[in-house]
Amino acid sequence: MSRQVAFDVGGTFTDFALSEAGAVQQTFLKVPTTYPDPAKGVIAGLHQLIDAGWLDPDECDLVLHATTIATNAILERKGARTALITSMGFRDVLIIGRQKRHRTYEVAVNRTKPLLARSDIFEIRERVGADGEIVEPLDEAALDALARRLAEGGYDAVAVCLLHAYANPTHELSVRDALLRHAPYLRISLSHVVSPKIREYERTSTTVADAYVGPAVERYVASLKASLADLGITPSLSIMQSNGGLISTELACRMPIRIVESGPAAGVLLCAAVGRDEGLKNLLTFDMGGTTAKLGAVDDGEPAIVSGFEVDAADYKKGSGLPLNISSIELVEIGAGGGSIAEPLMGLLQVGPQSASSWPGPACYGRGGVRPTVTDANLLLGYLAADGFNNGAMTLDAEASRNAVQLHVASPLGLSVTEAAWGIHALATNNMERALRIISIERGRDPRDYTLIAFGGAGPLHAARLARQASVGRVLVPLGAGVGSALGLLRAAPKLDALTTRILPLVPESAVSMSEVFADLEAKLRSDLRQAHLTAQGSFQRAIYMRYKGQGFELKVSVPDGPIDHSFVAAARDAFQAAYRRIYGTAVPGSEIEAIDWLLVWQADAPGRRASVATHPMDAADPTTREVYFPETDGFVSCRIFSRSALAPGAVFDGPVIVTEPETTTVVLPGDRLEVTRQGNLLITIGAA
Amino acid sequence: MSCSAANHAGLPDRVDAVTASVISSTLIAIAEEMGTALRNSAYSAAVREGDDFSTALFDRYGRLVAQGNFTPGHLGSMPFVLQHVLRYYPESSLRPGDGIFLNDAALGSGHFPDCYLVSPIHLQDRVVGYVASIAHHVDVGGAAPGSQLVQGVSEAYQEGIRILPVRAVRNDEFDEEFLRIFLGNVRLPDIVRGDLTAQKSANHIGAARFLELFAKHGAATMDRAIEHLLDVAEAATREEIRRIPSGSYRFSDYFDDAGPGTEPICVSVEVTVQDGNITFDFSDSSDQVGAAINSYLNYTRAYCFFAVKVFTDPRLPQNDGAIRPITVTSREGSFFNPTFPAPSGGRATIQVRIFEAISGALAEAVPNKAIAAFSHWSNPNIGGVDEKTGRPFIFYDLIMGGYGAMQSRDGAEALAAVMNCANIPIEMHERANPIRIRHFGFLPDSGGAGQFRGGCGIRKDVEVLTASARASLLSDRHVHAPYGLAGGKPGKLGETVLLRDGQARNLSSKETVMLRRGDILSFRLSGGGGFGDPALRETAAIERDLEEGYTTLDASRACYPQFKPESNPS
């Protein structure tokens, strides 16, 4: 029988999930992630699965994987020794960056460290103009000398980013040829291949990061494959990309920068899959853990994709990290988690972005943390139970929470402990509402048309309050949310994308050029598919990033298939105007529209594996109760507490109700209604009771 | 300086800290949300790349309750803009859907390109608050493209169209007659119209959200919460100011000139700290000048508020309460408090110097927060007609260098100094304008030596690719170098060089020059000042700079006697 195994190597835990004959199993496993070689933890987990009889190496025909290997190489600055070749006169583009400080009112700002030093950057005489014209030919003699110099320079990888190479790659290709001649063992990343997009700093940053993580990814893949083979697991290994698509390890090694953020992408895929099971096409995804909350979106069944993001950002502030121009699942991340610290600041209460982290953690962990956190507040409000936290691994100390809240929040602000705890909970929710509004309203999504899907240790606890505040009508808490990314892998399909910059006015006269752009992208994708031996049936989807001429930011707009003619252009115009109106409330009639970036996505038709139907019998045990605080009830009331394993599909309860499971707790507010769906997911309808 | 609530008798006691905190965080979120909408739909490069805009919410008395975290340049005018608007349009004359426009330098933000749009928020028939947005527009007419010409401008009347408060928006639509007058006086009317629309959208979003907050909490709670927010902000600011030792601190520096052939401008400040109040007095500075760089008091005030945050706690809120303990004065008719029609289009060039004078003064009182002088920046406009398209173009650039050093750190490299903005990508510049950037990089040896060295200056060379163009330069520190602190050396002087037909000619920092095809303007910024005695610099740091090419071997030897390279590297 055909079996698949998926694992997500996260920062703390490595999660496993399995599927059999196309159906995802309800068997999950969590083992600690091992350092410095995460492959060891993976092998240990696979051993456990084999020993328990859940996995037979001979029957396993597919291994799916999400990894932080590329991200960690960047965060820990442990990537390859990398050189950069750039156009004469522009050596410092990478180090200068965009120059904006991420804190306006501080002058003692620390900039994020670039991945390489100024002495690793080399210039070559050449110049391409904005229209792709050759302004100055490449100095071939100097190029040969430079290639020889790099060959002796102790480098592992070379990034090449020349000005306007997205418009004409000739010179970058010549540089590649010279490097192949003189230093064939160097890993080469070319900007027009990695990120053929206008804006030199961001393109350079992406290309350098690609070169920098490449050797680490290659080594890791080789080591993992060898270890799998030792276990007798020999089928093909696929890796999750940040765009939410699976690719072969060969492609991952060729485009290693695309697997940064692979775990979070898989989590959003699980949400999309659960939405499909439930017939819900528009979802806002809400993943809240110990230090951060991540919000994403699924539009019309498809996870939302953005064309770039930042890695190694300070305080989650935009502009502080290293920009990467790669397609990625859209996520807004803020420093709001269970460990976020509450403190009075200038007479008002503030929660986060400082975090007690996992060590020492919240005061109630009893490991020396003295500052009150969101988790402490949730314990005092009764949302969390003192026992059974984190799969029963620890008992929480409510007295420690009470003391911390009293000392650091209640006394300074003249509040009772309960008022202070409620304030911490409310302020944390407010912070998340801000992020939710960014992912929804600021990006053209009306929250009333969406369902909030919550996972992560703290997500289901805050979700109903967040939904209420942000006018979202429904909350869904999926089954198996504790291993969301591993499950997401099993539900993913192979996917590839290609993007390029070509600035064209959106008018019928551009139709021929537009056809060429999409034809080139399709040829590129087909070649990638062939190299990856991907033979599955799939389909192409087109999108264009457009703006009114003269503006500096583009909107991504899906455009139709088929021939590119008058009606295609008209449809694209209409789609842009509609998207613009949705976000800014008004369009600018008569203004010229420009198409900037062009995106083509190929996705396999196979929808991935399906969820198995929940078959938990109703537990005979009655619910327990405990005192829980709600502002709606003006204080503490006796609230029913159910174990999730005791809830049968079809069960309906009016809030207040709390549902506990090993990895998380779901809070249903007074006035809301909880229903256990046929799939075993928890669906909360706000205001239905 | 600040206004107070007319009457809040009859309200019950203060709102609790939790409600106030929730309302406060939401008010700030609304101002930020307005800013996102404005930035993303704006056309002007200053707005979208430079964040040269602001958004804010006001209560029904016109007091500032929250301001978005964008340019500090509007900190000084935003708290007072409603007072000016309400003088022309009392509350009773305002209708739902109105928008009041103004760009006067004295009422607004110190020069005409900064345009305010202020909208009342009505709940039933009553005004419950206001939202405002201000953005730097690409052109408002006048003597030169970009409306920031310095040289040869002696009166504000030469700087473009000036609008005192007028009702420019009715029923949520711009008044076509207003637009006809305004857009008829600007060089790029389509772009200006687009940015006005972006401001209207931002105000629309802010007003809707503000109303939601009223609906959720009720007007009475909102009133009490706002009162509380302003009071705690005032108390927090006073507490922070009390941490600075009481006393009076002075510093003087010189701005090179107000254009070719003019006298240096004295930038002099006396900072007085006492009883939780802080006063900045610029009266000893030079008189206002007959060139367009005068700093109207609103603008002077903006960078004093900025300095208070830097020298106390950057998290101080930005509202009417927080500014109550701060007084900014300057003699009437002085450079930092000029009288109309003093021209001011290029006043942005002075902003770094307002902060630097204060930093120099407070270095004695708060040495651990003081910073030596920055690289000055350069803000040139090159305009003309692109012969390929037949359309006018304006190349507006922001060239920024390094920071001064501090008590325990080298000056940062390549960061926006005071006004916080991003540079504009070279590939974007070249696509939009008939210019080519020939060089963009650090100037080795330009940072002032010291135990901690200043950041490097930056060089940027711009070639003209069309038959003719006119450049208005706006820079400084070509004559008076960025100061060092505590024995640190000043940074190297800046230069602007015109390269024509193989000849180099040094230009004045604020010259206007006609360019022709093939000319290259080379902007070379000064370096940041050093901090502490250079003889105390660690050898490892000297070697690292040398290896990375931020300094040369000769300069390292000359600046640092303790540096003795073992062998002569080739």
Nearest chain A Cα to B318, which residue?
Answer: A105
- The residue among B193, B218, B236 that closes a domain is B236
| Option in A89, A105, A348 nearest B21 (CB) | A348
B111 within 8 A of B347, measured Cβ to Cβ: yes
B chain contacts of residue A122, beta-carbon cutoff 8 Å: none
The tokens for A681 are: 């997911």
Would you state the pLDDT for residue B4?
Answer: 40
CA distance A186 to A212: 12
The tokens for B451 are: 């135990």
The tokens for A40 are: 């060891």
SS3 A308: coil
Query: B481 in a domain, yes or no?
Result: yes
Report residue B42's pLDDT band, with 50, 70 and 90 as the boundaries: confident
Residue A268 neighbours by CB under 8 Å, 6+ apart: A244, A285, A296, A298, A303, A329, A331, A488
B470 bridge partner residues = B383, B514
Query: B2 in a domain, yes or no?
Result: no
CA distance B416 to A132: 31
The predicted-structure confidence for B1-17, as pLDDT tens digits, reads as follows 333 443 344 444 678 88
Query: B8 in a domain, yes or no?
Result: no
The tokens for B356 are: 């630097």
A437, B442: Cβ pair inside 8 Å?
no
Place of tokens 């509004």: A437
Would you state the pLDDT for residue A616?
Answer: 54
- The residue among B199, B217, B236 that closes a domain is B236
A584, B39: Cβ pair inside 8 Å?
no
Whether B46 and chain A come into contact, CB under 8 Å, resolves to no
The parent domain of residue B396 ranges over: 371-570
Whether B37 and chain A come into contact, CB under 8 Å, resolves to yes
Q: Which residues of chain A have pLDDT under 50?
A: 618, 620
CA distance A684 to B243: 51
Whether A437 and chain B come into contact, CB under 8 Å, resolves to yes
Q: B 170-189 residues with CB below 8 A of A?
A: none
Whether B1 and chain A come into contact, CB under 8 Å, resolves to no
The predicted-structure confidence for B231-287, as pLDDT tens digits, reads as follows 999 999 999 999 999 999 999 999 999 989 999 999 999 999 999 999 999 999 999
Omega within 30 of 0 (cis) for the link into B90: no
B chain contacts of residue A86, beta-carbon cutoff 8 Å: none
Omega within 30 of 0 (cis) for the link into B341: yes
| Option in B51, B191, B421 nearest A550 (CB) | B191
Query: B507 in a domain, yes or no?
Result: yes
Report residue B567's pLDDT band, with 50, 70 and 90 as the boundaries: low
Query: Which pTM does this prediction carry?
Result: 0.89
Q: Residue A458 gets which letter from DSSP?
A: S
A3-74+218-262: in CATH 3.30.420.40: yes
Query: B4 in a domain, yes or no?
Result: no
B58 within 8 A of B131, measured Cβ to Cβ: yes
| Option in B416, B423, B440 nearest A89 (CB) | B440
CA distance A182 to A164: 25
| Option in B191, B422, B548 nearest A117 (CB) | B548
Whether A185 and chain B come into contact, CB under 8 Å, resolves to no
Query: B341 in a domain, yes or no?
Result: no
The tokens for A91 are: 């050596």
SS3 B372: coil
B17, A347: Cβ pair inside 8 Å?
yes
Would you state the pLDDT for residue A506?
Answer: 92
A chain contacts of residue B198, beta-carbon cutoff 8 Å: 584
Would you state the pLDDT for residue B1?
Answer: 37
A95, B414: Cβ pair inside 8 Å?
yes
The predicted-structure confidence for B129-162, as pLDDT tens digits, reads as follows 999 999 999 899 999 888 888 888 999 999 999 9
Core vs surface per residue A258-285: b (16+ CB within 10 A) or e: bbbbbbbbbbbbbbbbbbbbbebbbbbb
Helix or strand (DSSP H, E) at A187: strand A187-190
B39, A553: Cβ pair inside 8 Å?
yes
A557 within 8 A of A546, measured Cβ to Cβ: yes
The predicted-structure confidence for B498-507, as pLDDT tens digits, reads as follows 999 999 999 9
B442, A423: Cβ pair inside 8 Å?
no
Query: B95 in a domain, yes or no?
Result: yes
Q: Residue B452 gets which letter from DSSP?
A: B
**Complex ipTM tops 0.95:** no
Nearest chain A Cα to B413, which residue?
Answer: A96
Beta-strand pair A593-604/A13-20: unpaired
Region B445-461 average pLDDT:
98
Query: B249 in a domain, yes or no?
Result: no
Q: B 447-486 residues with CB below 8 A of A?
A: 458, 461
The residue of B18, B374, B430 whose CB has the most chain A CBs within 10 angstroms, and thus the best one to mutate to test that interface, is B18
A99, B423: Cβ pair inside 8 Å?
yes
Q: In this model, does residue B568 exceed pLDDT 70?
A: no
A79-215: in CATH 3.40.50: yes
Beta-strand pair A187-190/A157-161: parallel
Domain assignments of chain A as residue spans, ordered by start: 3-74+218-262, 79-215, 495-606, 624-684
Beta-strand pair A340-345/A309-311: unpaired
DSSP B238-273: HHHHHTSPSEEEEEEEEE--SSTTPPPEEEEEEEEE
A chain contacts of residue B549, beta-carbon cutoff 8 Å: 118-119
- The residue among B236, B256, B290 that closes a domain is B236
Beta-strand pair A610-611/A23-32: parallel
A chain contacts of residue B72, beta-carbon cutoff 8 Å: 104-105
Q: Which fold does the domain A495-606 belong to in CATH?
A: Dna Ligase; domain 1 (3.30.1490)
CA distance A374 to A381: 11
Residue B550 neighbours by CB under 8 Å, 6+ apart: A118, B413, B442, B444, B447, B456
Nearest chain A Cα to B20, which residue?
Answer: A348
Whether B413 and chain A come into contact, CB under 8 Å, resolves to yes
Q: For chain A, what is the radius of gyration of the CA atoms?
A: 26
Whether A103 and chain B come into contact, CB under 8 Å, resolves to yes
A chain contacts of residue B16, beta-carbon cutoff 8 Å: 415, 419
| Option in A91, A426, A441 nearest B441 (CB) | A91
Counting the structural domains of chain B, the total is: 2
In angstroms, the first-to-last Cα distance of chain A is 46
The predicted-structure confidence for A270-292, as pLDDT tens digits, reads as follows 999 999 999 999 999 999 888 88
A292 within 8 A of A316, measured Cβ to Cβ: yes
